[in-house]
Amino acid sequence: MTILDKIIAEKRQEVARREAETPAAALQALPPFTRPVRSARAALTAAGSSGIIAEFKRRSPSKGVINGTAEAGATTAGYVAAGAAVLSVLTDEPFFGGTPADLWAARAACPATPILRKDFIISEYQITEARALGADLILLIASCLTPAEVQQFSQFAHSLGLEVLLEVHDEAELRSHLAEAVDLVGVNNRNLATFATDVATSARLAALIPSRFVRVAESGLQHASTILELRQAGYQGFLIGETFMKTADPAAALAGLVAELTTPVSAS
């Protein structure tokens, strides 16, 4: 059993529990359910966008504790001030130490910035929950879903006004799961079964993603030079968690990266 199998098995129990506690109708009655959605597509493709999707990530199965003290509202507000185009907030508790309350806190602190609910979506209930928590887009992971589920969940997300980021890791997943209904396509450089991370994965798959989708490179990104290379390859979004969160000041780490991305290379 891989870690992903374990995450999904636990997620099925968690979702059943949450749905029994708070039915979808109750979520639909919460004020954020009808708030205007901010478009991640628009934020990533706007002129001058940093393209950075800055992630609030306390811990992970591959790295253990990354940051045991950061608070979601303050950290995401710092990210926005430092130039993040989009925010990502992990809401999985057992494996990542995130909570739905983290998403609430980020939403309250950053009303104008698109927020990705980063979780392992396996049911429409979680998409309704994402909307009620104040998210603007959801993640669908190809390796956890059938192509038919990607289609169904994308259409359901759109019916709630949410955008969809489809995550793939290789050519086969891209071929089998890419659906017209998704808005952004992310290439995860991390193999979720083995944790092996190689940024060359994004470079390899770039040309296979039709340009009508916003391309997002995910995981293992550390250096401005890598981001500049991936921009050349056609990427407009760069999902980064650990590189920022492992520092004492995640927002300052992001500000440093943004400064490097915008500093012209000297001709000497």
Which residues are near ligand LARABZUK by CB under 6 A? 3, 55, 57, 60-62, 188, 192, 195, 218-221, 239-243
Nearer to ligand LARABZUK, 27 or 56 (CB): 56
**How far apart, in whole angstroms, are the C-alpha atoms of residue 146 and residue 156?**
15
**Interstrand relation of 214-218 and 64-65 (parallel, antiparallel or unpaired):** unpaired
- Active site residues per annotation: 55, 57, 118, 167, 188, 218-219
Nearer to ligand LARABZUK, 27 or 144 (CB): 144
37, exposed or middle or buried, with CB in 10 Å at 0-12, 13-18, 19+?
Answer: middle
* Angle of CA points 83, 84, 88, to nearest 5°: 165
Nearer to ligand LARABZUK, 27 or 60 (CB): 60
Question: SS3 of 27, please?
Answer: helix
CB of 241 to ligand LARABZUK, least distance (A): 3
CB of 199 to ligand LARABZUK, least distance (A): 10
**How far apart, in whole angstroms, are the C-alpha atoms of residue 67 and residue 247?**
8
Nearer to ligand LARABZUK, 83 or 241 (CB): 241
CB of 57 to ligand LARABZUK, least distance (A): 5
**How far apart, in whole angstroms, are the C-alpha atoms of residue 162 and residue 35?**
11
**How far apart, in whole angstroms, are the C-alpha atoms of residue 224 and residue 242?**
15
CB of 267 to ligand LARABZUK, least distance (A): 32
Angle between helices 124-133 and 147-159 (to 10 degrees): 30
CB of 59 to ligand LARABZUK, least distance (A): 9
- CB 59: neighbour CB atoms within 10 A? 18
Those residues whose C-beta lies under 8 Å from the C-beta of residue 212, and which sit 6 or more positions away, are: none
Nearer to ligand LARABZUK, 3 or 74 (CB): 3
